[in-house]
Every structure is written in structure tokens, then in C-alpha cells.
Amino acid sequence: MTSYRQPGLVLTDRRFTVPLDHADPEGEQIEVYGREVVASDKAGPDGTDLPWLVYLEGGPGFGARRFIGPQAWLGRAVREFRVLLLDQRGTGNSTPATRQTLPLRGTPAQQADYLAHFRADSIVQDCELIRKRLTGGARWTVLGQSFGGFCATHYLSTAPEGLKTVLITGGLPSLHADADEVYRAAYPRIRRKSEAHYSRYPQDVERARRIAAHLLDHEVTLPNGGLLTPQAFQSLGILLGGGDGTHQLHLLLEDAFVPTPGGPALSDAFLENVQAVLSYAGHPLYAVLHEAIYAQGRGPTAWAAERVRAEFPAFDAEKTLAGDEPLLFTGETVHPWHFETDPALRPLRETAHLLAERTDWTPLYDPARLAVNEVPVATAVYHDDLYVDTAHSLETARAIRGLRTWVTDEFEHDGVRAGGPRVLDRLLALARDEV
């Protein structure tokens, strides 16, 4: 273990060996990394009895957020917890799973079999092994953001004996909906977010149409070699799920073109900024496993977001540009064409198709067990969350015994970060029945 200091904090790198397949504990092993964080004034003998809180990041495919000092919710957490920022398997400093490393697994079929062990069920089993090693068997608190909340809900379904408290922010999943149902609920919500953006920034209607029209007529390459197609441009709408996302999108669009000897062209600065939003190089599992997190044992996901999009023709860029309607952005959807346009995903194209065809996914949640839950649970449900359907979350909230729900439109999906200590403080108070 290596320990070091940041302002107000002492951090310790921890590495854990876990089975790739928990059904075969003596088989292949992988490494999971966690960053232990404790307040500086509690790092000595006085802090040895601090209870543990493990943070599960959103995604899939993102390592735990890297803080510098007691930022956002972390400052509130270290007042009473020893925090473990866990890089879920395949992410961050854990054994990586990327276009560079996955060929070591062999063929695309072998890669797909390997990645089938990277859903919430395996992540929770990792957590249970790590908990027993760290706490000596004591229960711990889980804070799950977005997909981390999906993992926390699976945790409640399968290993509640390891949990002292569960706190979920923007990540209470449907217990029953498959990927088709998730996206069928998502596209109307995505449309509302686009319309709200144009209501705030009406000048962006023409800007977005002009950019999309240019992309229809020109092959535009991003600095990393990726292709910026009209569909890829529309996916900038993923920004609209954050508290300042509409403002970020507006600033991105406002100076897209520059004059050149060959006529107006998209500027290098614009393309660089677009690439920063759209590239999956730093989190390829987000694309490769995105629909698998919704697989509930009822057949393949079969590129659900792409199939369901066809039911909403207003998102067709070419048809929109043939008329005079505003161009609709899209959100947290992954499509087969992502594996053509993004250089970080192209080598994983066949692997992704095999995962989309996979039929042996198991259900992730146990409604019967959740109905008799005894673990204190509190969740923040962000009203009209771009990424997680509010109606689905509230239906699940009613299905988990004893769960306390805070529904708010003060924040978007990133409330636990953007809200500083307030969101965590509120959830702790709810879970403790203090409000």
C-alpha cells in the first residue's frame, strides 16, 4: 500500500485480487483498485474505528472520480467515514479492458465471454470480497451514482447482509424493464431536453441545423481520426444531462465555423472540443456494455437504442433538414455506428455485436427480496433526469421496503457532484430518519 497527502486528506492506494468469474473462485484472477480516503485529522489512531463508505461511480466503464482534496460530496463523507473510491473491474487503475488490452483475450467471441463478467452482478461480488478484507466482516455504507445505483440495487437484491446503509443518486433502475422499454421511455425525455435547450438558446436552432447540413455534405474527420457524422453530432446531447450541460452545448456551438479558401469549414477548435465530448477512448466499456446493463434475461438487447430510435422519426437528421424543424439532439444511447466512427471502438466492433446478440444474461434484481428489505435506503430522484427515467425510478422506490425518496428538480443527473455536500447530507438524514 502507498499513502500520500492532498489538502485535508490522506489517501492510500489499495489493490485487490478477485476472480474473473465468481462461480470459479480458483480460476483466473483480475485486479480491482480502490483509493482509500480519510480526513487528515482522522488519519491517526483516532480514525481507526471510522465506518467505511464505498463509492460506486456511474457508467458503466468509468473509474471512480478523481478528487483533489475534499471536493463535492467527499468533504461531507470524510467527516464521518473512511471512504473507498472503487475503480470497478475493467476501469481506472483496475485490470483494464480496452481496444489495446482485449486482444490479449483472443478472438472477439472470447473477448465477449470475458466482458460478460463485467456487469453489476460481478461488481457487487467484488465489493463483498473487498468488504470482508477491509472491514473484518463489518457492514459498510454504499453510495451509488447513476450506474453505481444500479449496482447498489443489485447489492440489496443479493447481499444485503453486507450493507449498513445504501444511498443512491440518480440511479434507481427499473426492476423489470428491458433495454427496449428503457429507450422507449428515453426518447421523449431526450426530445424535451433538446426543446428546453432551444427555448433557452433559440439562436442554437439555426447553428445546429447549419452544422448538421454541413456534415451531410462533407466528410469531416476529428483530430483522432474519428468521423463526425450528423448522427454523431446529435449525440452531443449527452451534455444536456448535466447541471451546466445546456450552457456547455451552447458555448460549443457558438463559434463552430471559420472562413477558409474553400469556403466555411468547421474549425479545428470546434472539432477538438467535440472530440473531447464524443470520444470513448477513456471509457470504452461504456459503449461496449451499455445495453447489457439493462439485459434482464429476456433475450438479446440487439442494439435496442438503434431499433427504438426508428419509432421516433423526429430524430432523423436528414428528414429534419429537409424541413424547417429544429434538429433534435440525442442522449445516453449507443448505436452500431459508434463502432464505425470512433477509432477507440472500431477494433471492438465484432465483440460489441456478439454482446448485443447474447441471450444468456441473468436477471439483475430480486423484487421479492427487495420487498422485505431491512437495510436503510435513501435515494435522490432527479425530476426528468435525462439518463434514468423518473417513472421507472419511482416505481422501484415503491417496491423496495423502507426506501426513502427525495424527488427534486434542483439538480440534474450530476447533482451529487454539482450540489457539493448537500445531496449526500440530505440522503444521510433520510436514511437515518432525521428528516
Q: Report which DSSP code applies to 226.
A: -
- Annotated active-site residue 360? The verdict is yes
87, 94, 121, 146: which one is catalytic?
A: 146
24, 49, 217, 360: which one is catalytic?
A: 360
| Grid cell locating 40 | 487528515
Angstrom distance (rounded) from CA 76 to CA 65: 16
283, 290, 338, 413: which one is catalytic?
A: 413
For β-strands 377-382 and 265-266, DSSP reports them as unpaired
- Annotated active-site residue 413? The verdict is yes
Angstrom distance (rounded) from CA 23 to CA 16: 18
The residues with which 165 forms a beta bridge, in sequence order, are 141
Angstrom distance (rounded) from CA 422 to CA 425: 5
The residues with which 166 forms a beta bridge, in sequence order, are 142, 377
Angle of CA points 233, 239, 244, to nearest 5°: 140
Cβ within 8 Å of residue 23, ≥6 positions away? none
Q: How many CA atoms within 13 Å lie on the side-chain side of 35?
A: 21
Peptide bond into 25 cis (omega under 30): no
Contact 126, 372 (CB under 8 A): no
Distances (CA, A) of 78 to 3, 49, 321, 381, 392: 16, 13, 52, 24, 32
The residue written with cell numbers 429544429 in the block is 326
- Annotated active-site residue 235? The verdict is no
Buried b (16+ CB within 10 A) or exposed e, 138-148: ebbbbbbbbbb
- Which 3 state secondary structure label does DSSP give 371? coil
Q: Report which DSSP code applies to 387.
A: S
- Catalytic residue ranges: 146, 360, 413
